[in-house]
Amino acid sequence: MGAEIRVEGLAKSFGRQVVWRDVSLTLPAGEISVLLGPSGTGKSVFLKTLVGLLKPDRGSVSVAGRDITRLREHELYDVRRMFGVMFQDGALFGSMSLFDNIAFPVREHTHKSEAEIRRMVMEKVDMVGLLGAEEKLPGEISGGMRKRAGLARALMMDPQIVLCDEPDSGLDPVRVAYISQLIVDLNARTGATFLIVTHDIASARTVPDNIGLLFRRELVLFGPREQLLTSDEAVVRQFLDGRTEGPIGMAEEKDAALVEEELARLTDASSEVRTPPPRLLPGPGITRPPRWEEIARRQAPSPAHQEADA
Ligand SMILES: Nc1ncnc2c1ncn2[C@@H]1O[C@H](COP(=O)(O)OP(=O)(O)OP(=O)(O)O)[C@@H](O)[C@H]1O
- pLDDT value of residue 260: 58
Residue nearest to atom 17 of ligand 1 (CA): 44
* Residue 24 within a domain: yes
**Considering Cα of 231, then 234, then 235, then 241, what sign does the dihedral take?**
positive
Q: Which residue CA neighbors atom 25 of ligand 1 most closely?
A: 39
Tell whether 128 is covered by a domain: no
Would you say the CB of residue 41 lies under 6 angstroms from ligand 1? Answer: yes
| ipTM here | 0.97
Please work out whether the CB of residue 43 comes within 6 Å of at least one atom of ligand 1.
yes
Q: What's the total number of domains in the chain?
A: 1
Distance 19 CA to ligand 1 centre (A): 8
d(C-alpha 46, C-alpha 44), whole Å:
5
Question: Letter for the amino acid at 254?
Answer: K
The 3-state secondary structure of 58-95, one letter per residue: EEEEEECCEEHHHCCHHHHHHHHCCEEEECCCCCCCCC
Per-residue pLDDT, 231: 82
Site to substitute for ligand 1 among 10, 43, 165, most atoms within 8 A of C-beta = 43
Q: Is 19's C-beta closer than 6 angstroms to any atom of ligand 1?
A: yes
- Whether residue 253 is contained in a domain is answered as yes
89 domain-assigned: no
Q: Which atom of ligand 1 lies nearest, measured to the CA of 88?
A: 27
Domain harbouring 215, CATH code? 3.40.50.300
- Give the count of beta carbons closer than 10 Å to the beta carbon of residue 306: 10
pLDDT tens over the chain, length 310 residues: 899 999 999 999 999 999 999 999 999 999 999 999 877 889 999 999 999 999 999 999 999 999 999 998 888 988 999 999 998 766 889 999 999 999 998 998 889 999 999 999 999 999 999 999 999 999 999 888 999 999 999 999 999 999 999 998 888 888 889 999 999 999 999 999 999 999 888 888 899 999 999 988 889 889 999 988 888 777 777 777 776 666 666 555 435 565 556 445 544 444 445 788 899 999 998 999 999 999 999 988 766 555 555 5
Task: Please tell me the distance from the alpha carbon of residue 30 to that of residue 191, in angstroms, as a whole number.
Answer: 5
Q: How far is the CA of 15 from the centre of ligand 1 (A)?
A: 13
Whether residue 102 is contained in a domain is answered as: no
What residues make up the domain containing 63?
Answer: 5-82+159-285
Question: So what's the pLDDT on residue 268?
Answer: 47
pLDDT of residue 197: 95
Closest ligand 1 atom to 54 CA: 1
Report the alpha-carbon angle 155-159-165, nearest 5.
65
Domain contains 191: yes
Q: Is the residue at 141 inside a domain?
A: no
pLDDT at 159: 96
Residue 226 belongs to a domain? yes
pLDDT at residue 262 in the model:
46
